[in-house]
C-alpha cells in the first residue's frame, strides 16, 4: 500500500504538529505518523481520577505563546477551539525552613518584592532582564532561535560586531558561557533570591554549576515573570486537537499506531518512509522528530559511518520524574499567596539545587530533590470539581540508572533499574518534603499517579533514559552545536540526505514547548 502527500512527518510532538500546521496553512498536504496510539508526543491529558483533568507530561506554554510559530498560527488555532489562559501570578518559592515568596506577572512588581527580601537583589534582577530584553535581545534571541548557518544570522553577528567591537563580542560570549552560581554569587546578595531563580536553570536540563546556566536561568526566569505561565484551557490535549484540525482542513492527516521502520532514500534524496509493508511517499520533504541515534542508526541503515559515530557520541542527561496528585481541597501553603501561583519551586537554597544535581549525575537518588510544583487550577479551574485541587510535581534531578540513595533509606535494585518500589518510595519522599511547605496537605489526597525516568522512556522513545530534554544541553551539543557539530550536512536540523529534515528537542534550539525547530523546518520547506 502506498500513500502520497507533499510532506511526511515522523512523530507527533510539539515540533511536528507546529511544522505540520504551518505547512498546511501554506498550502501543503501533510501526513503525520505517530507510533503510539495517541498523538501529541509529550502532550498528553488524562482523567486520572473521576472529574480531574491532568496533564500527565508537559503542561506550560510560555515558549510557544511567545514564539514565531504561534504568531502565525494563533488565529487558526483559536478558530479550531484553542484557548490559552494565564493568571496574575507567575512563579514562587517555598523553602522547607518556612519561607514562602510569590511573584506576580509583572517585572516592576517583582523587582520591588525581591528588593524587600534583600535590598538590591531586585534591582540586579531587573538590570539583567532589561539587558537581555533590551540591547542584547536581537543577538540573544537571534542566535538562540534563528537558523544558525544563514545569511540573516551572519548579518546579525556582523552588525553586532560593528556595534560592540571584538572586545564587546568576547564579553558577550563570556557572559553567555558563565554558570549561574558564579553570576548569582557576584550579583545577588540574598540566599532567597538565588534560591528563587536557580531552579529555573533545571528546566533546560542544566545545573547551576554548568556552563551557560547563567544565561538560561536569567532568560527563563525573566520570560516567565514577564509573560506568565499560560496553560491550555481544559487540558493540554486540546492543543493537539486544534493542530489536527488545521492539518485535516488542509487536506492532511495524523495517523497513530504507525511505527516508522525506515526513511526511503533514492539517489541521495528522501522520498518517503516505510511502515511495515506500507509506504508513505513525500513529494517535497520528509521530517523526522527523532533523536540522532534513531535517525542515523535505525531509520537510515545505509548512513555513512561518520554520522553513525557522531550519533553514538551524542549524550543524554539526567532523568526526570513526575507525580500527579488529586486533592479533595486546596492545600494550605506556608504563604497563603502561593495558592495563586501556577509554578512554585521547593528547595532550601541554590546550594541545595546544585547538590541534588550532582547527586543525580552520580547516579544517586537525591535526598532533597528540587520540586517544581505546578498548580494548573490556579489559572484553569475547569480541570477539577469546585473546591478540589491538582498538584503537578516535576523533578529534573533524577538518575537514569540508580547506584545509591543519598539518604541511605531506599533500597536500590541490584540492576540499577527503576522499578515500582523505588518509584513509590520517591513519591513518599516528595510527600514528606511537601509537608514542610504545605502542612497537612497529604490528608486531602484522593490519589496519585507517578512516572519514573523508566516510565517516561517507555511512553516516548525520544526520552532516552528518562531525559525529558532528549540530550544533555551542555555547550558542546546545545544551540548551534545541536545535535552535533563538525558535519556541515548534519547540523541544526539539516541532514546529509536531500529533502530530509530533523526536528525535536535533540535539534537546535533544543528542548521546550516552543515548536521552534518545527518552525525552522517549515521555513526551509515552504517559507511563508
The CATH number linked to 452 is 3.90.660
- d(Cα 92, Cα 196) in Å, to the nearest integer? 7
Question: What would you report as the CA-atom Rg of the chain, rounded to the nearest whole angstrom?
Answer: 22
> Do 381 and 333 share a structural domain?
yes
Q: Which residues pair with 52 in a beta bridge?
A: 49
| Beta carbons within 8 Å of 316's beta carbon, 6+ residues apart | 400, 464, 465, 467, 470, 471, 472
Q: Do residues 411 and 474 share a domain?
A: no
Residue pair 42/320 in contact by the 8 Å Cβ criterion: no
Report the DSSP beta bridge partners of residue 100: 94
Per-10-residue mean pLDDT, the chain, length 528: 96 97 98 97 96 95 93 97 95 95 94 92 87 75 76 81 85 88 95 96 94 91 91 97 98 98 96 97 98 96 93 95 97 97 97 98 98 97 96 97 97 96 98 97 97 96 96 88 81 89 94 92 91
In the numeric block, which cell numbers belong to residue 483? 545535535
Domain that holds residue 259: 2-45+236-314+469-525
Tell me the residue ranges of DSSP E strands in 143-233: 231-232
Query: Where are the alpha helices (H) located in 38-106, listed in sequence order?
Result: 62-65, 68-79
Residue 99 counted as domain residue: no
Residues 267 and 293 in one domain: yes
- Calculate the CA 245 to chain-centre distance: 24
Residue 480 lies in a domain: yes
Say if residue 322 is in the same domain as residue 455. Answer: yes
- Grid coordinates representing 115 are 528588593
The model carries a pTM of: 0.94
Q: What pLDDT, on the 0 to 100 scale, is given for residue 406?
A: 97
**Cβ–Cβ contacts within 10 Å for residue 502, how many?**
30
The grid cell for 323 is 507525580
Q: Is residue 165 part of a domain?
A: yes
Domain C-terminal end among 202, 224, 246: 224
Residue 103, domain member (yes or no): no
Query: Could you tell me the CATH number of the domain that includes residue 242?
Result: 3.50.50.60
Q: Give the DSSP per-residue string, 329-392.
A: S----SSGGGGG-SEEEE-S-HHHHHHHHHHHHTTEEPSS--EEEE-GGGT-GGGS-TT-EEEE
Give the pLDDT confidence score for residue 369 in this predicted structure. 98
Domain count, the chain: 3
379 within some domain: yes
- From residue 92, how far is each of 23, 100, 155, 315, 473 by CA, in Å? 38, 7, 39, 32, 25
From 164, 190, 224, give the residue that closes a domain: 224
> What residue ranges in 262-318 does DSSP mark as E strands?
262-266, 269-275, 278-289
Last residue of a domain, one of 224, 255, 275: 224
* pLDDT for 143: 74
Contacts (Cβ under 8 Å, ≥6 apart) of 398: 318, 319, 320, 321, 360, 365, 366, 369, 426, 452, 453, 466
Q: By the 8 A CB rule, do 360 and 379 touch?
A: no
Spatial separation of the C-alpha atoms in residues 167 and 317, rounded to whole Å: 34
DSSP-derived secondary structure for 427-495: HHHHHHHHHTTSTTGGGGEEEEEEE-HHHHHHH-TTSGGG-TTSS--SGGGSGGGSS-SS-TTSSTTB-
Q: In this structure, are 147 and 115 located in the same domain?
A: yes
Indicate whether 183 belongs to any domain: yes
Q: Could you tell me if residue 506 is inside a domain? A: yes
Length of the chain in terms of residues written = 528
What is the enclosing helix (H) or strand (E) of 321? strand 319-327
Backbone angles phi, psi at 86, to 5 degrees: -140, 170
Q: Which residue has the cell 539539516?
A: 494
Same domain, 334 and 266: no
Which positions ≥6 away from 74 have C-beta within 8 Å?
none
Q: Are 72 and 25 in contact (CB under 8 A)?
A: yes
Residues 134 and 210 in one domain: yes
Cis peptide before 509 (omega within 30 of 0): yes
SS3 content of the chain, % helix, strand, coil (to 5): 40, 20, 35
Q: Are 42 and 58 in contact (CB under 8 A)?
A: yes
**CB 465: neighbour CB atoms within 10 A?**
18
CA distance 270 to 282: 8
**Residues 410 and 309 occupy one common structural domain:** no
The span from the CA of 299 to the CA of 260, in Å, is 8
Residues 249 and 205 both lie in one domain: no
- Nearest by Cα to 389 from 335, 446, 450: 446
- Judged on CB neighbours under 10 Å (0-12, 13-18, 19+), 184 is buried
Give the count of alpha carbons within 13 A of 417, CB side only: 6
Q: What are the grid coordinates assigned to 374, written together?
A: 505546578
Q: Which helix (H) or strand (E) holds 244?
A: helix 237-249
114 vs 190: CA distance, rounded Å: 9
Residue 281 sits in the same domain as residue 154: no
Assigned domain for 90 exists: no
Shared-domain flag, residues 206 and 275: no
| Strand 30-33 versus strand 253-255 pairing type | parallel
Judge if 455 and 323 occupy the same domain. Answer: yes
Contact (CB, 8 A) for 85 and 239 = no
Side-chain-facing half-sphere of 492: CA atoms under 13 Å: 22
Amino acid at each position: 500500500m502506498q500513500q502520497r502527500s507533499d510532506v511526511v512527518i515522523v512523530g507527533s510532538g510539539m515540533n511536528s504538529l507546529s511544522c505540520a500546521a504551518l505547512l498546511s496553512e501554506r498550502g501543503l498536504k501533510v501526513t503525520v505518523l505517530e507510533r503510539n496510539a495517541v498523538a501529541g508526543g509529550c502532550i498528553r491529558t488524562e482523567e486520572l481520577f473521576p472529574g480531574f483533568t491532568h496533564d500527565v507530561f508537559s503542561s506550560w506554554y510560555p515558549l510557544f505563546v511567545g514564539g514565531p510559530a504561534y504568531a502565525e498560527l494563533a488565529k487558526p488555532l483559536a478558530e479550531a477551539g484553542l484557548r490559552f489562559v494565564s493568571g496574575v501570578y507567575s512563579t514562587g518559592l517555598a523553602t522547607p525552613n518556612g519561607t514562602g515568596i510569590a511573584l506576580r506577572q509583572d517585572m516592576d512588581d517583582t523587582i520591588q518584592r525581591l528588593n524587600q527580601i534583600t535590598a538590591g537583589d531586585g534591582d540586579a534582577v531587573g538590570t539583567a532582564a532589561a539587558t537581555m530584553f533590551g540591547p542584547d535581545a536581537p543577538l540573544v534571541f537571534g542566535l538562540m532561535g534563528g537558523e544558525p548557518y544563514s545569511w540573516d544570522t551572519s548579518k546579525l553577528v556582523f552588525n553586532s560586531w560593528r556595534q560592540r567591537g571584538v572586545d564587546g563580542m568576547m564579553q558577550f560570549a563570556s557572559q553567555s558561557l558563565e554558570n549561574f552560581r558564579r553570576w548569582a554569587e557576584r550579583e545577588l546578595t540574598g540566599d532567597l533570591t538565588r534560591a528563587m531563580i536557580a531552579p529555573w536553570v533545571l528546566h533546560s536540563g542544566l545545573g547551576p554549576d554548568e556552563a551557560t546556566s547563567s544565561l538560561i536561568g536569567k532568560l527563563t526566569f525573566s520570560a516567565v515573570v514577564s509573560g506568565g505561565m499560560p496553560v491550555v484551557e481544559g487540558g493540554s490535549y486540546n492543543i493537539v486537537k486544534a493542530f489536527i484540525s488545521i492539518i485535516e482542513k488542509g487536506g492532511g492527516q495524523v495517523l497513530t499506531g504507525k511505527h516508522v521502520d525506515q526513511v526511503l532514500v533514492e539517489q541521495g534524496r528522501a522520498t518517503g518512509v516505510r511502515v511495515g509493508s506500507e509506504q508513505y511517499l513525500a513529494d517535497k520533504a520528509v521530517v523526522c522528530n527523532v533523536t540522532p541515534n534513531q535517525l542515523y542508526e535505525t531509520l537510515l541503515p545505509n548512513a555513512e559511518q561518520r554520522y553513525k559515530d557522531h550519533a553514538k557520541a551524542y549524550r543524554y542527561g539526567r532523568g526526570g520524574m513526575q507525580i500527579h496528585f488529586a486533592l479533595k481541597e486546596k492545600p494550605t501553603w506556608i504563604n497563603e499567596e502561593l495558592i495563586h501561583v501556577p509554578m512554585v519551586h521547593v528547595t532550601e537554597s541554590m546550594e541545595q539545587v546544585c547538590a541534588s544535581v550532582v547527586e543525580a549525575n552520580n547516579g544517586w537518588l537525591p535526598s532533597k530533590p528540587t520540586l517544581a510544583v505546578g498548580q494548573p487550577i490556579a489559572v484553569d479551574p475547569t480541570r477539577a470539581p469546585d473546591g478540589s485541587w491538582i498538584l503537578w510535581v516535576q523533578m529534573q534531578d533524577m538518575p537514569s540508572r540508580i547506584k545509591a540513595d543519598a539518604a541511605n533509606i531506599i533500597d536500590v535494585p541490584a540492576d540499577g533499574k527503576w522499578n515500582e518500589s523505588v518509584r513509590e518510595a520517591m513519591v513518599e519522599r516528595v510527600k514528606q518534603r511537601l509537608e514542610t511547605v504545605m502542612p497537612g496537605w497529604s490528608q486531602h489526597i484522593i490519589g496519585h499517579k507517578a512516572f519514573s525516568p523508566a516510565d517516561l522512556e517507555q511512553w516516548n522513545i525520544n526520552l532516552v533514559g528518562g531525559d525529558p530534554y532528549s540530550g544533555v544541553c551542555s555547550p558542546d551539543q546545545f544551540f548551534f552545536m545541536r545535535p552535533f557539530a563538525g558535519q556541515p550536512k548534519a547540523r541544526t536540523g539539516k541532514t546529509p540526505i536531500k529533502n530530509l529534515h530533523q526536528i525535536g528537542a535533540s535539534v537546535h534550539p533544543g528542548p521546550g514547548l516552543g515548536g521552534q525547530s518545527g518552525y525552522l523546518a517549515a521555513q526551509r520547506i515552504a517559507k511563508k
